Structure 1
């Protein structure tokens, strides 16, 4: 009996080691800089109350499309409908908490970069997250709101804008 228990325990350990290797995704391409940029933007928006920015001007790499993923986005559903391998995003914090957003950058129908952004640096949860942006349309504004996180920090809402700085309300446009 004890021998069976030890064999089962060892098999479980080896299985978990293999699974943890498979799940050990990280964005090793060094785009932690983008999170630092968003931290700086959020500080400026807290001072200025509103701040317009373009994702294209913030990134140092080439991309065709960016997908904004908000908390609890059904990544498997998006993967099936877009035919883009998004498996590394299954293990990001957006699957388990409301405190993060993910910006997924795509080039030639392949996920090339992603960054997990703390909602403290801007909350993108203003609408359905299945909208893709190309570099010319990935324009946003960060607005200081009256709402606060449980920590007491004010919430910064990030919403899409057109080239003139006008808010694009996708819900009303459909």
Structure 2
């Protein structure tokens, strides 16, 4: 019985630590498809202060060390896949949410592996989505 309780507590802890948010992913994907913009600076459904975007095959550990951030509760799928970009929302240098954004919606230009303040997380899309050559998200400098 004691082992079952410990196993249950470990499972609950594991589930609660995951940052992946399918609802947020759907919301962001819909915004991109409908508007060709991605304005994350207005995302207020949870508390965050920075964003980092990881490209396919990025190393979670190297990113953590480079930026002195904690991504330990982020899925490591990005290290073995080229199907998506990983958007990680941070609060005080710790991951609070993440989404695996499919690359057919677009790639990001010159902003991978860079900490982006929430107020600056506004992107415009250049090119066509769902094409053979992915469209590019660029920072929308106001």
**Contact (CA 8 Å) 2:20, 2:98: kept in 1 or not?**
no
- Normalising to structure 1: TM-score of the pair? 0.62
- Normalising to structure 2: TM-score of the pair? 0.74
**Contact (CA 8 Å) 2:129, 2:135: kept in 1 or not?**
no
**Correspondences of 1:15-26 after superposition (within 5 Å):** none
Q: Which residue of 2 aligns with 1:144?
A: 127
> Is residue 2:91 matched to residue 1:112?
no
**Correspondences of 1:8-87 after superposition (within 5 Å):** 28=18, 31-45=21-35, 51-87=36-72
- Structure label with greater radius of gyration: 1
Q: What is the CA distance between 1:95 and its match in structure 2?
A: 1.2
The alignment partner of 1:60 has SS state of coil
> Is residue 2:139 matched to residue 1:160?
yes
Distance 1:27 1:139, change over 3 A: farther
Aligned-partner Cα distance in 1 for 2:127–2:15: 33
Residue ranges of structure 2 left out of the alignment (5+ in a row):
1-10
**Contact (CA 8 Å) 1:64, 1:107: kept in 2 or not?**
yes
Computed over aligned residues only, the root mean square deviation of the Cα atoms, in angstroms, reads: 2.8
Q: What is the CA distance between 1:162 and its match in structure 2?
A: 0.7
